[in-house]
Structure 1
Amino acid sequence: MGEEFTLKRELGLLEITLSGVGSILGAGIYVLIGKAAGLSGNALWLSFLFAAIAAGLTAISYMELSSMFPKAGAEYEYVRNAFGEFLGLLIGLLVVFVEIISSSTVALGFAGYFEVLFHTPAIPSAIALILLFTLILFVGIKQSARAAILMTFIEIIGLLVIISIGLPEMGSVDYLEVQSLSGIFEASALVFFAFLGFEEIVKLSQETKDPHRTTPRALMIAIATTILLYILVALAVVSVLDWRVLSTSSAPLAEVASVALGSNAFVILSLIALFSTANTVLLMQIGGSRILYGMAESGSLPSLISWVHPGTRTPWVSILVFTSLSIMFVFIGDIAIVANLTNFMVFIIFITINLSLIWLRYSKPDIERPFRIPFNIGRFPLSPLFGILCALLLFAHLSLEVIVYGFILLLVGVVAVFIRLKSQGNSRQVK
């Protein structure tokens, strides 16, 4: 059934750009900005700027790689073509880990807001949200993208409200007052989570019209838009509230709004945060199910996962697998720890992606590159090198606890890849 059908190209530049913006403007900015302010003080914007540079350098690598291999497998395809099946499958599984853990945790973040506003138990609300979006994903990618775009506009309105509140107070504090250089980089490592999501765009490549050109353009626009919004928000919040107060708040943006506009604003911003967290869950379910589909389509995972529904043209089996795993992980706790655990895996993924681009310039120079990174020394691209250095610097500022948990997950991934490739080899011998 599934082998006879493929995904349908229905998405244009506007749709995937807004999906990317919505994926980036997720739970991170609404929850983590207070914790980051406690580390960097009034220089919060510098932490966002450095995190933006680190993310942006790798996003440029994604632009060239996505134009070379416009496949739903995304990172898996890039690394497999550069370094072979073992490392490609490992990176693919790490991406799936990131999507599952993040979507489950953000679903709990949604449930927390929902509990405060409507007095409902958290865990059933989180599971209900995941199941609701699973139904939307079954219906079709066009409908899923439209739902994401609607919630993205709501997210942007919320951030514009915060920026407008802060504008009259701009200049009221010293934005270069640095608590410590280490604090700036620790905050950058934390808020790096808020920039994740641009890579979801490349996972829609097999459902995008003219992906060779559309995907790099969408990445560029999405990153530039969110960098501007984040830095303006960072300047606004420390202008309205003392960074020490922000650092103790569980709903920092809602608290900034309530200071300027009264208690009703707290409810309004909490509702916007509800849509923001929901949008993140939806887009992670889309991205996670697509990379599972892409890996199965390439033969690295069981072919059953690559089945596409003949009517809706959606990868229904991979959607079900991702949903089931997300519900299993819905009991994860502290969002700051999970954000940094996600960052641990993302830093490894981004370092490998940048290395893949550099290696492919030499190992496969003749592959068509509709988008090619500027600033090269001969074949050697400079931006991936700086992307690797930035990721290593932020990696060094993760806590020991996060690094230990991260390496355990990495080891699980290595064992899973080894078992999978060994079973594939045995099945080939039997045949």
Structure 2
Amino acid sequence: MQHTEQVGLKRALNLWFLTFYGLGTILGAGIYVLVGKVAGVAGLYAPVAFLAAALVAALTAFSYAELASRFPKSAGEAVYVQEGFGMRPLSVTVGLLLVLSGLVSSATLAKGFVGYLDLFIELPDWLVITLLVAALGALAAWGIAESAAAAAVATVIEIAGLILIVAVSTESIATLPARLPELAPPFESAAWGGIAAGAFLAFYAFIGFEDMVNVAEEVKEPRRTLPRAIILAVAISTTLYLAVATAAVLALPLEELSRSAAPLALMFERATGQAPVVIGAISLFAVVNGALVQIIMGARVLYGMSEAGWLPRWFARVHARRRTPHHATAFMTAAVLVLALALPLLTLAKATSFIILVVFSLIHLSLAAIKRRRPPPHGVRAYPRWVPVAGFFLSVAMVAFQLHELARG
């Protein structure tokens, strides 16, 4: 295999490829199991919990959109923190936290793939995980255009699955006008406490749009394309989540919904009377897509940090023909495989949300500091200063609330 350190990454992603890449990361497999868990703590107010999580995600998306336009570089978050605070150790830490979150997320999805595959065929776990991770690593190293195309196809399938769930639930959705008062939370602390807890869980479903900035050096016209794609991805996912969450609480009894490990499959089965084979197959695509995008993201963060001189140059090696960071991709693939085969990842996966929210808090502060010191360059869309400030406080509030809940046991 040939390589050279002088070859740059290939700019192959347009607006829609990038938007579907982001949607693939956001949608992932989470929504296919998450609705029931959110309903378990927020009750009928689960759609409100998703809306609250969407608010935090939207504010963060606006901050990312402006920063991505100002600094269209791989290892985006590390670059943003460096520009905001000028503290290299903090920037390196942020970058490595993102790589860690990508590793854990991808490994968790790889393990989850086994459970979905068991619906169709039973094979040894280690064999399935090894073949899956190796295939994803090869695809990620093959080329960003090919990887993005595969992710786009999988994302279309995921979206179709969510639309299918809403479509088969039309009878339940038709009761929305009559039941709307039930879905409107009262001004009581107990109700809003459940909504806050549900929002923290629902936030898992929105994690992923931040990964879009880490392919900045492979995007056509990044200053123009990145902000639009980020906002589009968050808007589309929010619309889908609200529709699915509303359909779920209207279609199933709360106790049954919260107990189900596969609530969307249960909704499909209950509405159609058919086995949820289609939803099971779509879930496989969701898992594969989510794991692929995390490997791509982590490799680009390692590449960008290496290019900046913050990590060994080995990670910055780009394949001469494929023009992908093949060394960084190989590292991500190997690390994901080790984690997926060796470690129980449930606790680490939950910690990912904490990691991301801490990173988001620093991103908001970085943008606020940058906006205070210098105006945006020509052609950069700048958002009001209250956006990063509000995003910071909401992100910190979500972390603080969850820490409080953990302290209570």
TM-score by length of 2: 0.93
Give the C-alpha shift of residue 121 in structure 1: 2.7
CA distance in 1, matches of 2:121, 2:197: 35
Match of 1:315 in 2: 325
RMSD: 1.7
Q: Which amino acid aligns with 1:36?
A: V
Contact 2:104 2:345 in 1 (8 A): no
Contact 1:61 1:354 in 2 (8 A): yes
Contact 2:7 2:318 in 1 (8 A): yes
Q: Which amino acid aligns with 1:125?
A: V
Deviation string 1:111-161 (CA, Å, 9 cap, x unpaired) is 211123211233432232111011111211111011000100100010001
Contact 1:169 1:240 in 2 (8 A): yes
Q: Which amino acid aligns with 2:300?
A: R
Give the C-alpha shift of residue 369 in structure 1: 5.6
CA distance in 1, matches of 2:152, 2:57: 22
Match of 2:380 among 363, 371, 389: 371
Identical aligned residues as a percent: 36
CA distance in 2, matches of 1:351, 1:110: 32
Alignment of 1:338-377 (within 5 A): 338-363=348-373, 365-366=374-375, 368=377, 370-375=379-384
Count residues with an aligned counterpart.
Answer: 395
Q: Which amino acid aligns with 2:159?
A: I
Match of 1:305 in 2: 315
Match of 1:296 among 297, 306, 319: 306
Match of 2:58 in 1: 56
Match of 1:279 in 2: 289
Give the C-alpha shift of residue 74 in structure 1: 0.7
Contact 2:24 2:152 in 1 (8 A): yes
CA distance in 1, matches of 2:319, 2:383: 41
CA distance in 2, matches of 1:248, 1:234: 15
Instruction: Give unpaired runs (5+ residues) of structure 2.
Output: none
CA distance in 2, matches of 1:156, 1:183: 28
CA distance in 2, matches of 1:77, 1:105: 27
Give the C-alpha shift of residue 259 in structure 1: 0.4
Match of 1:124 in 2: 127
CA distance in 1, matches of 2:269, 2:343: 30
Instruction: Give unpaired runs (5+ residues) of structure 1.
Output: 376-380, 404-431
Alignment of 1:77-92 (within 5 A): 77-83=79-85, 84-92=87-95
Q: Which amino acid aligns with 2:362?
A: T
Match of 1:200 among 204, 211, 222: 211
Give the C-alpha shift of residue 372 in structure 1: 3.0
SS at match of 2:401: coil
TM-score by length of 1: 0.88
Contact 2:185 2:192 in 1 (8 A): no
Gap change, CA 1:111 and 1:191, over 3 Å in 2: same
CA distance in 2, matches of 1:117, 1:75: 40
Alignment of 1:19-418 (within 5 A): 19-83=21-85, 84-170=87-173, 171=176, 173=179, 174-176=182-184, 180-264=191-275, 266-330=276-340, 331-333=342-344, 335=346, 337-363=347-373, 365-366=374-375, 368=377, 370-375=379-384, 381-398=385-402
CA distance in 2, matches of 1:69, 1:401: 37
Gap change, CA 1:165 and 1:184, over 3 Å in 2: same
